Chain A
Amino acid sequence: MSQVFPKSANAWSKASVLAIVFVLLSVGWVVLTIQRSDFVTSANQFVEQPVQFSHQHHAGGIGIDCRYCHTSVEISPSAGIPPTKTCINCHSQIWSTSPYLEPVRASFRDDKPLNWVRVHDLPDFVYFNHSIHVTKGVGCETCHGRVDKMPLMIQKASLQMEWCLDCHRDPSRYVRPRDQITTMGYQPAVAQAELGPRLVKEYKIAGLEHMTSCSVCHR
């Protein structure tokens, strides 16, 4: 009786062991890549709004401070969406007949709020507080990106937990002076490696144990 396996089967069996490992690793890599992709995190995607409001024009071009509209960012968990009245403050005078702004005027006339679509949407089991981040020296730009260069608002960061933890593990890389919170395109006056640890100390930013404890954000 002849042999069932030819001699080359030895080489094939060894190669297949390697191939299995390679396939498993590739599958793992593909899964992790998809899970971090913009497709899953919905980062860098434009969202259709009732009025295509341009942050680039208002914050970048005209130079309106973030806090003119997002009034509660320093005192409340939510930065706040401005009421239509805030738009009308200016737009009763300028572009007051533009057809483009008709939804805004209709909203003001009928006393019905505009239904802005939330761009930065966190899961419901995580609680983010704007006031504490702003107080501790985390600038708008650090999380929201260059808003002054966004014709339409997009979510710049992945908003995944590893992204939060990146800063929570070592905030000294990102903190800035409080008077520079709303500055876009901020450049530290001295090297961040020197300024960061000093601000962490000055603003009494909590240590690693507190900042990475589950119950800081989850409850």
Chain B
Amino acid sequence: MAYRWGMAVDIDKCTGCEACVTACHAENNIPTVGAGQASRGRAMHWIRVERYYEGSFPDVRLKFRPVLCQQCDNAPCEAVCPTYAAHQNEDGLNAQVYNRCIGTRYCANACTYNVRFFNFFNPEWPKPLHLQLNPDVSIREVGVMEKCTFCVQRIKAAKTEATAAQRELVDGALQPACAQACPTTAIIFGDLNDPESRVARLARSPRGTKLLEDLGAEPKITYLQKQPWHEPDAY
């Protein structure tokens, strides 16, 4: 059976430590652009931790929400790509084919969640930092869009290994770097097509909401929280 990769993020568990952001940078060869470019909005973080302040001083509550590509079923980024570099692959991932991308940046403009990033320069890793590059992930060149892949290199490796050994993938055996790094296990990854997988059960949870669900992009990431968002009175 085909897989349909999804994620559940428990906001109540998230402490905002940003270990996921660091892990993502290390795993996916994401370049840092420096303060100057970052101030022009060219910073690249496939996953970011958004901070929301609720209440007024001194009774302030801070909430964190890790935001990454929502791997939408009805993705706005894919429809606008003139070269089909952004496309839905058979596992339901919004795949980005870097060597096909011509850098129109339409997808970044269409994306509801601001999770697509453009390489304004050729990335550089001054020696000896080049030794930390992950050989399983392409280095993106100047003029190419990039985005969270749900660590497709890990998915590919696990699937290939399972196929070669002629067995099925086990739930939980495979997780992206952000989920692996999360100290509070706020990020759960798995196959939504398997009704018994952890992520599928969490996706059915009454605590679950989707980010900007009304826009109809049908994201595959479920955010779990005790109270609905933007109801500070509930605390």
> Which residues of chain A have a CB within 8 Å of any CB of chain B?
74-75, 77, 123-127, 129, 131-132, 135, 204, 209-210, 213-215, 218-219
Q: Interface on chain B toward A: helix, strand, loop, or mixed SS? A: loop
In the bound complex, do residue B163 and residue A219 qualify as a contact, i.e. CB atoms below 8 Å apart? no
Given contact pairs A132-B163, A214-B95, A218-B99, enumerate 18 new A-B contacts (beta carbons under 8 Å).
Answer: A127-B153, A127-B156, A131-B160, A131-B161, A135-B163, A135-B164, A204-B163, A213-B89, A214-B84, A214-B89, A215-B87, A215-B89, A215-B152, A218-B97, A218-B138, A219-B138, A219-B149, A219-B152
Contact A127 B99, CB 8 Å, known A135-B163, A215-B89, A219-B152: no
Complex alpha-carbon distance, A214 and B161, angstroms: 20
Contact A125 B90 (CB under 8 A): no
Contact yes or no, B138 A215, CB < 8 A: no
Give the CA-CA distance A127 to B95 in the complex, in Å.
Answer: 15
Q: Which of B93, B137, B163 has the most chain A CB atoms closer than 10 A to its own CB?
A: B163
Which among A123, A125, A131, A215 has the greatest number of chain B C-beta atoms within 10 A?
A215
What CA separation (Å) do A129 and B162 show in the bound complex? 13
CA separation between A127 and B160, bound complex, in Å? 12
A-B contact pairs, 25 of them (CB 8 A): A125-B99, A125-B138, A126-B99, A127-B136, A127-B153, A129-B160, A131-B160, A131-B161, A135-B164, A209-B90, A213-B90, A214-B87, A214-B89, A214-B95, A214-B97, A214-B100, A215-B97, A218-B99, A218-B100, A219-B95, A219-B137, A219-B138, A219-B149, A219-B152, A219-B153
Considering the chains assembled together, what is the distance between the CA atoms of A213 and B138 in angstroms?
17
Given contacts A132-B160, A132-B163, contact A215 B139 (CB under 8 A): no
Tell me the count of chain B residues lying within 8 A, CB to CB, of chain A.
Answer: 22
Q: B98 near A215 (CB under 8 angstroms)?
A: no
State A77–B157 Cα separation when bound (angstroms): 9
- Complex Cα distance, B153 from A127, in Å, reads 9
Convert B11-24 into 0s and 1s, putting 1 for each residue whose CB lies closer than 8 angstroms to a CB of A: 00000000000000
Question: Which residues of chain A are within 8 angstroms of B161 by Cβ–Cβ distance?
Answer: 131
Residues of chain A lying within 8 A (CB to CB) of residue B156: 127, 219
Smallest CB–CB gap between B153 and chain A, Å?
Answer: 6
Q: Which residue of A lies closest to B159 (CB)?
A: A132
Q: Within B44-85, which residues are at the interface with A (CB < 8 Å)?
A: 84
CB <8 Å contact, A218 and B98: yes
Give the residues in chain A near B99, CB-CB below 8 Å: 123, 125-126, 218
Distance of A151 Cα from B139 Cα, bound (Å): 36
Q: Which residues of chain A have C-beta atoms less than 8 A from B153's C-beta? A: 127, 219
Q: Shortest CB–CB separation between residue B101 and chain A, in angstroms?
A: 10
Query: In whole angstroms, how far apart are the Cα atoms of A215 and B156 in the complex?
Result: 9
Instruction: Enumerate B117-176 residues with CB–CB distance to A below 8 Å.
Output: 136-139, 149, 152-153, 156, 160-161, 163-164
Q: Which of B138, B152, B160 contacts A124 (CB under 8 A)?
A: B138
Distance from B5 Cβ to chain A, minimum over Cβ atoms (Å):
12
- Residues of chain A within 8 A (CB-CB) of B100 are 214, 218
Q: Which residues of chain B come closer than 8 Å to A209, judged between CB atoms?
A: 90
Least Cβ–Cβ distance between B155 and chain A, in angstroms: 9
Chain A residue, CB-CB nearest to B140: A125
Q: Which residue of A lies closest to B161 (CB)?
A: A131
How distant is the Cα of A49 from the Cα of B87 in the complex, in angstroms? Answer: 42
A219 vs B28: C-alpha distance when bound (angstroms): 11
- In the complex, which residues 87-110 of chain B have their Cβ closer than 8 Å to any Cβ of chain A? 87, 89-90, 93, 95, 97-100
Across chains A and B, which 10 residue pairs bring their CB atoms closest together, nearest first? A215-B95, A215-B89, A135-B164, A214-B97, A125-B138, A125-B99, A219-B152, A132-B160, A218-B97, A131-B164
CA distance A214 to B93 in the complex (A): 12
Chain A residue nearest to B144 (CB atoms) is A125
**Min CB–CB distance A56 → chain B (angstroms):** 30
Q: How far, in whole Å, are A75 and B156 apart by their CA atoms in the complex? A: 14
Could you say which of A75, A135, A210, A218 has the most chain B C-beta atoms within 10 Å of its C-beta?
A218
| Cβ of A5 to closest chain B Cβ, rounded Å | 45
Q: Measured between alpha carbons, how far is A131 from B149 in the docked complex, in Å?
A: 23
B90 touches A210 (CB 8 A): yes
